[in-house]
Amino acid sequence: MSDDLVFDTGFTTPSGECARLSPLVRRIVAGNPGPITFTGTCSYIVGNGRVAIIDPGPDLADHVEALLNAVRGETVTHILVSHTHRDHSPAARAIKEATGALIVGCSAHRSARPLALGEANMLEASSDKDYAPEQELFEGDTVEGPGWRLSAVATPGHMANHLAFALPEERTLFSADHVMAWSTTVVAPPDGAMSDYMASLEKLRAREDEIYWPGHGGPVREPQRFLRALALHRRQREASILNRLREGDRAIPAIVAAIYQGLKPALIGAAGLSVFAHLEDLVARGIVRTDGEPTLTSEYRLA
């Protein structure tokens, strides 16, 4: 079977609609479409009667209302949060206020590393620094209800505190932003790290989940093939960056222009952060050099 990376961009579920995905899983898409969020954030309801909500999403009144309407007559026991981006976690507070459910999941916001001297965090505004879990989940920790159990799977990379959640009753993984069928994942220092991301991909390859429900877009239906394709894509991107350094490119904008030809202007910044993540990893591995700590504005050369 081919390991070519093929994306599924045909997802059409409208925002606000509660879709039944399986006996245990329902999904509501938030009305926050965009270049990074695709058609919007996917929030999931797990269970029947006594339920959990995974990634309640942005604090949009219409989305919060749709989630609350979907669970009317049921008891929400847990609100699980995969990571602290503003398109995933802020509505947890409104859902808790309305239901009394416990907010559990990832740690409070943290970065993969400290800022270098003079470095700015380009994604600072996207972080939900008000998120505060009542119970932090670590690898293997579980929450459960009638007929369901959700287990935390640590998957740092996209962010340092990123978690996925496994539902063994349906051999399902809620993969949040770590693995998505519609696009590759943004990995952007200092909040994320390419070395962590690649290690998390390998970790998931050791699992036997049959379907992923991601944070944006439709399901990943052949997880093992897709994981292999994602890893190969990242290795090929690394090779392209090294080739540009051999050709004499030294700065990230020049590398982006050469290897992301035809990219939509709205995605150029994300592409630069992705190249930066690869270069940071290559410097740590001794393959690439730069003067001082790696930053977005550093000049890079082969070691």
User: What is the per-residue pLDDT across 47-79, written as a single tens digit (0 to 9) for each?
Assistant: 999 999 999 999 999 999 999 999 999 999 999
Give Cα 296 to chain centroid, integer Å: 22
Q: Which segments of the chain belong to CATH 3.60.15.10?
A: 19-230
Which residue stretches of 38-180 are H helix?
Answer: 61-70, 91-99
User: Is 104 in contact with 136 (CB distance < 8 Å)?
Assistant: yes
Sign of CA dihedral 28, 33, 39, 40: negative
Give the C-alpha separation, 16 to 42, whole Å.
10
pLDDT score recorded for residue 1:
42
What average pLDDT does the segment 113-131 reach?
84
The yes-or-no verdict on residue 122 having pLDDT over 50 is yes
Write the burial class of residue 79 (CB in 10 Å: 0-12 exposed, 13-18 middle, 19+ buried). Answer: buried
Residue with tokens 């030294």: 250
| % of the chain beyond a pLDDT of 90 | 91
pLDDT in tens, 80-103: 999 999 999 999 999 999 999 999
What average pLDDT does the segment 131-142 reach?
98
Name the residue among 109, 65, 117, 124 with its Cα closest to residue 91.
65
Give me the numbers of helices (H) and strands (E) for the chain, helices first please. 6, 14
Give the C-alpha separation, 227 to 204, whole Å.
8
Q: How many residues does the chain have?
A: 303
What average pLDDT does the segment 207-234 reach?
97
Inter-CA distances, 47 with 42, 74, 92, 193, Å: 16, 10, 18, 33
What average pLDDT does the segment 150-162 reach?
98
Per-residue exposure over 23-53, b if at least 16 CB sit within 10 Å of its own CB, e if not: ebbbbbbbbbeeebbbbbbbbbbbbeeebbb
What average pLDDT does the segment 14-42 reach?
97
User: Is 87 in contact with 56 (CB distance < 8 Å)?
Assistant: no
Fold (topology level) of 232-302: Arc Repressor Mutant, subunit A (1.10.10)
pLDDT in tens, 162-196: 999 999 999 999 999 999 999 999 999 999 999 99
Q: Which segments of the chain belong to CATH 1.10.10.10?
A: 232-302
Give the C-alpha separation, 190 to 175, whole Å.
21
Give the C-alpha separation, 277 to 271, whole Å.
10
CATH architecture of the domain covering 19-230: 4-Layer Sandwich (3.60)
User: Is 51 in contact with 76 (CB distance < 8 Å)?
Assistant: yes
Give the C-alpha separation, 300 to 297, whole Å.
10
Mean pLDDT of the chain: 95
Please give the full DSSP string across 94-148, using - where no structure is assigned: HHHHHH-PEEEESPSS--SSPPPTT---TTGGGB-TT---SEE--TT-EEEETTE
Give the C-alpha separation, 192 to 137, whole Å.
19
